């Protein structure tokens, strides 16, 4: 089933990460991130993940390596403080 959730494009990177972690707490697991010109659109599938394990980083070169102990979930685009940015999403643990 999953969900597709729209986040305001004015959010900061940390703000967006917090909101995405909040939504993963509803037994959702992020699968993809994109932007539609005004907002960030994130796709989730049903599933449980460790609390606050999702990490969001700017990834202008689309080649950012995961931090130690994390794995890459996906790369995509997000709207950060109004601008389209390349993003890498990792998961801790």
Partner 1 sequence: MASCKAALLISFLMLDGCAALGGAPAPIIPVKDSVGLVSAYKLDEAIKAFRAADDASRGDMTPQEYRDMVVAVYLAAIDARYLEFRRAVSSQGRGGALGADLAVLGLTTGATVINGAATELSAAAAAVAGGKAVVDKNVYFDKALPALLAAMDAERAKARTQIVLNLRKDANAYPLETAFGDIAAYESAASLDRAVDVITTNASEQRATERQRYENAVSACDGEEDVVTQRQRIMKFVSSLVTVGNVAGLDSMAKLMGLAGGSDATTLRTAIRRDIIANYCSTKKLDDLIVAIAAQSWGSSI
Site residues for partner 1 per CB under 8 A:
1, 3-8, 11, 15, 18-19, 21-23, 25-28, 34, 36, 41, 43, 51-52
Tell me how far, at minimum, the Cβ of 18 lies from partner 1, in Å. Answer: 5
Q: Are 41 and 19 in contact (CB under 8 A)?
A: no
Q: Are 79 and 68 in contact (CB under 8 A)?
A: no
Nearer Cβ to partner 1 (21/86): 21
Distance CA 60, CA 46 (A): 29
Q: What angle do CA 48, 49, 53 make, to 5 degrees?
A: 160
Tell me how far, at minimum, the Cβ of 31 lies from partner 1, in Å. Answer: 12
Nearer Cβ to partner 1 (22/67): 22
């Amino acid at each position: 089933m999953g969900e597709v959730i729209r986040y305001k494009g004015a959010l900061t990177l940390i703000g967006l990460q917090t909101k995405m972690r909040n939504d993963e707490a509803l037994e959702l697991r992020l699968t993809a991130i994109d932007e539609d010109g005004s907002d960030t659109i994130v796709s989730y599938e049903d599933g449980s993940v460790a609390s606050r394990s999702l990490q969001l980083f700017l990834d202008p070169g689309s080649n950012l390596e995961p931090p130690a102990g994390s794995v890459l979930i996906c790369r995509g685009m997000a709207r950060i403080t109004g601008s389209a940015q390349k993003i890498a999403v990792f998961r801790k643990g």
